[in-house]
Each structure stands twice: as C-alpha cells, then as structure tokens.
Amino acid sequence: MMEEELNNGIQYFATDINPHAVETTKKTLEAHGVHAEVMLMDIASALENRLAGLVDVVVVNPPYVPTSEDEVGCEGIVASWAGGEDGRTVIDRILPVVDKLLSEKGWLYMLTLAANKPSELCGLMMKKGYASKIIVQRSTEEESLHVIKFWRDPDSEVQIKKGSAHKGSPTSVFSRFSRFSFSGQSK
Ligand SMILES: C[S@@+](CC[C@H](N)C(=O)[O-])C[C@H]1O[C@@H](n2cnc3c(N)ncnc32)[C@H](O)[C@@H]1O
C-alpha cells in the first residue's frame, strides 16, 4: 500500500544520525499507527534535493547545548545534545536546508535554548523572508527553552529591503515587534 493511502494523504519523513534513535523513532511511530520513512542520515546531507519545496511542516529538536566543536556529530548519545559554540553549529547548518525543503506555505517548528540566541535566529531567518514567533517558552532551573515557529512572510523581505529591520542588534529588531512575534503579521 502506498504511504499516502496509509496516512490520509500525508507523507512523513524523519532523519537522525544515530541508528538507535532511528530504530526507536520507527517503533514509536508504528505504535501510533503512523507510517513514515525514517532515514539514518544527516538532515543536511542532500535531503533538500529530493524534497525541495515539498514539505509543509518541519519539526526540529536539534542538539542545542553549548559544547566544544569536537563533540558535535560524535557517534552515540553525545550527538543528541552537542551543539558546538552557543549550541548553534547544527542549528545553523539546518536552517538553510529547511529553507529549501519548505513549501511556500510551509512552517518550521524548532526547539531552542536561550543560549542559542533565539532572537538572532529570528533575525537570520527574517533575512531569508521568514516571519517568526515564539509559541512556547518554558524555564526550569537548568534551562530556558523556546519553540519558535517560522513561516514565509513577504512583509519580512520588504522590511529587510527597506532597511527598517537592520538598525541595531538582532535583539533590538526582536523587541520592536510584539514580545512573541517577529513579523508583520501574526499566525
Ligand atoms: C535533542 S535530540 C532529539 C531526539 C528526538 N528526535 C526527540 O525529538 O526527542 C537531537 C537528535 O538529533 C540527532 N542529530 C544530531 N545531529 C544531527 C544531524 N546533523 N542530522 C540528523 N540528526 C542529528 C541526534 O542523534 C539526536 O537523536
């Protein structure tokens, strides 16, 4: 049976570089009756060539903990948290890939840590024509986490072209909009 028939017309893909994570993801999806193509591969290794402009929703829970660069992409469990400088090494590789994967109406949901400088990430994505919004913020004693939603927004490109979003640091750009929104429109 085709994947599309199994999932009400929706096709799901997942990637991880850890074979144990791939197996666990497969079992979890099966337990929930979801059929997906789970690939043992780096998310930034040419997936965008196969699926360019075809993906409507991307969900990324990246390795976001600030670590030494040596630990990034290591075999095993270390790769699940090791994010390099500011925890941004993997995130910064993923964002251009997601830009290619997403359809015109596509959304990206990404989990980040405060140390990843979420407002700077929103500023970077704004330059690519994306609006953004922090949709969930949670703090524990150890970490402050955000889920950021990104979507294409022509107003973001207009603001960048006019130069109105460039004055000051990305943080000051962030604060010019509502606390949780980084766009002309809210979604
Ligand atoms: C924070 S854990 C998230 C685990 C699980 N996907 C979840 O959401 O609970 C990050 C995962 O990303 C994987 N990973 C690290 N670098 C990657 C890369 N370049 N491409 C694909 N997966 C990667 C790690 O092996 C780890 O399983």
What pLDDT score was predicted for residue 162? 67
Question: What's domain 52-182's superfamily in CATH?
Answer: Vaccinia Virus protein VP39 (3.40.50.150)
CA distances from 12 to 47, 55, 152 (A): 13, 9, 21
Domain boundaries, the chain: 1-41, 52-182
Tens digits of per-residue pLDDT, 111-168? 999 999 999 999 999 999 999 999 999 999 989 999 999 999 988 766 666 665 444 3
d(Cα 152, Cα 167) in Å, to the nearest integer? 22
The model's confidence at residue 48, banded by pLDDT at 50, 70 and 90, is confident
d(Cα 55, Cα 124) in Å, to the nearest integer? 21
The model's confidence at residue 99, banded by pLDDT at 50, 70 and 90, is very high
Substitution site in 61, 74, 78, 81 for ligand 1 pocket (most atoms within 8 Å of beta carbon): 61
d(Cα 51, Cα 61) in Å, to the nearest integer? 20
Q: What is the pTM of this model?
A: 0.85
Give residue 162's Cα distance to chain centre: 27
Range scoring the smallest mean pLDDT among 30-34, 72-76, 100-104: 72-76
89-101 helix and 118-127 helix, angle to the nearest 10 degrees: 30
- Kindly state the tokens that stand for 152: 């294409």
User: H or E segment at 145?
Assistant: strand 144-152
**Ligand 1 pocket check for 43: Cβ under 6 Å:** yes
What pLDDT score was predicted for residue 4? 55
